[in-house]
Structure 1
């Protein structure tokens, strides 16, 4: 998909701001759709499957944090948060919960459009794109529909016996293999129905790493000290 075909969903309760952002995105050759509240944002995200979500924190019905958590539970759609507070805690919270970038109001709409293009370029360059329900990262092939993972050993594929949680964690990391996912994000995305603690993620990923090593894949997933995990050594 070229950048000219990319669709950006603008979740913003102020129509004037949404119109301005849409106009600047159009100048960059990007299409846009608009959601007026958090619930509508989730509905349109599911229906339209946008390439990126511009998400205001202060939204009616469901706020931006709730929308961010749900979109991350669903998958890896790139998200740029829009916040009215230039505070480190808001920025860190956005990144920790899985946002790809953030901008602070009042903002320059041209800069926002440039940030959108940058995030789209980065996420597409990172590879691991979902093609027909398949993810491929290095020697790993992940079948999202059959819940099956195989390793290319050079002499043929070797199937891995993974638990559902291990599969979910691996698939989540594989969607953007160079992006570091925090333990909190992995917990929300892969164990949403449980009340597990973040250290539970470490335990599951340790078992996953051991199974990958037994199949000849060394050092994956990569642990980034104090941050989280990714699936490529250069992350």
Structure 2
């Protein structure tokens, strides 16, 4: 999948994140850290809008407080920041406004960024008793890889409207998985949705949780407009679903 309008649909929320920026040795630069639980960590793999995007940090704050976890949102784009106007402009306007989306995608491919993301999960695994991972859009493929059979990097994963995901990623996942899926999504296609359902049901031994968001577009769960009733409800449902899933699999119940 190349970058497209669907990957940059969205709205930037108001609000002030209350975590802190800390050095994170395994990432290219730094990480946003929020929460103080010494035993439970969540690795948040951002989308192509990046780690500094306010929406992602505000979500991380919610997860830290409501799940009782320490959440890390590292920079996985090697310090590169995309112009936030990409949320408002059409694809044919990107280049004329100096926004190099295509180059950014190539510089941050799966092959280039996977080792760094794996190293981050390994670091958290060595320091915390339980580790979960969540990824939206570009981060979706990454959490499936972290949860793949034999990797032993995380205890559970969540993804919302994943992109760059393959059937093999779905076939090899081996930890409890939650999928948050808008109805309309050019990246997470009906074919991939059907494949996910078929594989999960055939497995039988793997816990999975699937949430369908009728009428919603790709990106709505992390970049939805809170002034639109349908999108506000979808974001709230997605956040609450993620909180419940992580609370179950990252805490002894």
Alignment TM-score > 0.5, same fold: no
TM-score by length of 1: 0.39
Q: Which has the larger radius of gyration?
A: 1
The higher-RCO structure (CA 8 Å, 6+ apart) is 2
TM-score by length of 2: 0.37
